[in-house]
Chain A
Amino acid sequence: MNHDLPLWADLAVSLFLVLGAVFGLVGSWGLIRLPDPMTRLHAPTKATTLGIGGVLISSMLLTFARDGVVSTHELLITLFLVLTSPITALFIGKVHLHLRQDRSALPRPATGAGWAGYTAEGPARGVRESARPSVPPAGEAPRTSD
């Protein structure tokens, strides 16, 4: 750990490390603090973007200050996480909607078309039959299997 860093690099790396750690802690604290599964979906995005981002920025600063080169491994990890976290959140939200039993407690969409998570064909677990609207909404495209 004796890197002989200049003072600005030491301060900046420490600042971004502490920022990232605080955001990671806040994200996980929100995961156990928030009351509803849909609101819980919101909390760990802080840990994904800002927490990991802060740690990776500090790592880039450290590499630049110590070796004089710009490291791009961190940008790859950030790019991958930013690309995949919306897909993960969408899937987890769909799982929550599908496994939820009291579907009438959901608010109605403004167009009356039904929620998009419930309109897919082929219920695998048999929970979608009772809630399917009897009249399919107009303008719904015929669906191919995904």
Chain B
Amino acid sequence: MMIYALGFAAACFGLALLMNLWRLVKGPEASDRILALDTMVINVIALLILLGIGLGTAVFFEVAMLFALVGFVSTVAYCRFLLRGDIIE
């Protein structure tokens, strides 16, 4: 039964990634695009954890942790560039 739940969850997060891509392309303002990128990182983290569950390994937790770190730093750097014109002043 878990294999069906895994497939359902992967399909849901893949569909969520497509929705975020739509908002990323269409988003009328820069903040929408940054928010779409941030949500894409979140969904990719969920997909990585699902892959780790499916393959039965614990390696993907480190990968998901790295994705969370890099996603946070990139979002803050993007916002900072738009707010101040520079990332590190």
Where the two chains meet, the residues of A that have a C-beta atom closer than 8 Å to any C-beta of B are 1, 3, 5, 10-11, 13-15, 17-18, 20-22, 24-25, 27-29, 31-32, 37, 40-41, 44, 47-48, 51-52, 55-56, 58-59, 62-63, 71, 73-74, 76-77, 80-81, 84, 87-88, 91-96, 98-100, 122, 124-125, 145
Contacts and interface: CB of A to CB of B under 8 A. Distances in A.
Secondary structure of the A side of the interface? helix
B68 A92 contact: no
A5 B85 CA distance: 54
A55 B46 contact: yes
B16 to A, nearest CB: 4
B53 A20 contact: no
Q: How large is the interface on B (under 10, 10 to 19, 20 to 34, 35 or more residues)?
A: 35 or more
B30 A71 contact: no
B20 A31 contact: yes
Contact of A29 (B19, B42, B64): B19
A96 B30 CA distance: 7
